[in-house]
Amino acid sequence: MGPEKDCILDIRDLVMRFGGLMALYRPDFVVMRGSITAIIGPNGAGKTTLFNVITGFLIPTEGLVLFNDKPITCLKPHQISRIGISRTFQTVEIFRNMTVLENVMLGFHGRMGSSFTASGLKAPWAVKKENLIKEKAEGILKFIGLSRKSNHAADSLPLGEQKILEVARALACEPALICLDEPAAGLNETESHVLSSLIRAIKEKGITVLLVEHDMKVVMDISDDILVLNHGQKIAQGPPDEIKSHPRVIEAYLGDE
């Protein structure tokens, strides 16, 4: 067992090919339980693709994703969500036809949702669950700092808050691992500062964070471990200080810009 015991996610020999394009090529790495692990890399490096493979939106050409030592590459997105991996999207995907609170309430669907029949008949247990869902969702909004807007239409929020709302919704899945795809994109400096402390608070709750982010200040501030991708391959992995001064990382970033 040894150090293996503390790893929540283990990516092995992963290859993702789109036609002739090699989007991921064996970026082997493990994510430690309870850590904040950042994935960085230039545009098109394969970061979002990696998230899509982990969360079941893409079936990899080759390789394995192990979550708590169990392979999950054969599972559907909703199944992966239910076993404890939730995510946000790079392009904001909030439910625009719902209120802020309803967005978060939906997050509980996988674990606590009622069946059609129970819902239709207003079965006592369904009503009870619904009340519990509402209570928990309000708790999450409080934690995330959006309580005062809970009854606003979700698409009336400014972009920054929409991104926070997506994080809130992902938390409602009660995940063990949360994957955040560029949560700071489009946020101003104060907002990304708030986001940084929010991500730390999520870690404090015992949730492992996997973070794709271009905002280096956020990444360097909060990450325990950083994985650097370029052209689908891992070029470096280590703590922030090491990555900052890593020659290949500097090269990849300078070479790209």
Partner 1 sequence: MLRYRKYPVLIVSLIIAFFPWVAAHVPAIDHYPDIMIFAGIYAIITIGLSLLMGYTGQISLGHAAFYGIGAYASAIFTSRYGWNPWLSMLLGTVLTSLIAIVVGGPALKLKGHYLAMATLAFGIIVFIIFNEEAGFTGGPDGMTGIPGLSIFGFKLNAERYYYLVWGIALLVFLFTTNIIQSSAGRALRAIHSSEAAAMAMGVNVPGCKIVVFAYSAGLASLAGSLYAHYMNFLNPSTFDIFFGIKLLIMISLGGIHYIWGAVIGAVIVTFLSYEWLHYFEELEILVYGLILLMITVFLPQGLAGIPEMIKNRFKAAP
Residues of this chain that interact with partner 1 (CB under 8 A) are 55, 57, 76-78, 81-82, 86-87, 89, 93-99, 101-102, 105-116, 119-122, 126, 129-130, 133-134, 169-170, 172-173
3-class secondary structure, 208: strand
Find the helix or strand (DSSP H, E) in which 170 lies: helix 159-172
Figure out which of the listed residues 9, 37, 46, 55 binds ligand ATP, where binding follows CB under 6 A.
46
Nearest-approach distance from CB 104 to ligand ATP, in angstroms:
25
Q: In whole angstroms, give the CA distance from residue 178 to residue 192.
A: 18
3-class secondary structure, 136: helix
63 binds ligand ATP (CB under 6 A): no
- Give the residue from 60, 65, 27, 55 showing the smallest Cα distance to 229: 27
Q: In whole angstroms, give the CA distance from residue 30 to residue 69.
A: 11
Smaller CB separation from ligand ATP, 17 or 149: 17
Stretch that binds ligand ATP, among 41-49, 164-172, 186-194, 237-245 (CB under 6 A): 41-49
Smaller CB separation from ligand ATP, 92 or 98: 92
- Give the residue from 219, 232, 226 showing the smallest Cα distance to 246: 226
- Site size toward ligand ATP, by CB under 6 A: 12
Stretch that binds Mg ion, among 90-98, 150-158, 228-236, 246-254 (CB under 5 A): 90-98
Q: In whole angstroms, give the CA distance from residue 243 to residue 238.
A: 6
- Give the residue from 50, 60, 81, 63 showing the smallest Cα distance to 182: 50
Smaller CB separation from Mg ion, 46 or 175: 46
57 binds Mg ion (CB under 5 A): no
Binding site for ligand ATP (CB under 6 A): 18, 21, 23, 41, 43-49, 90
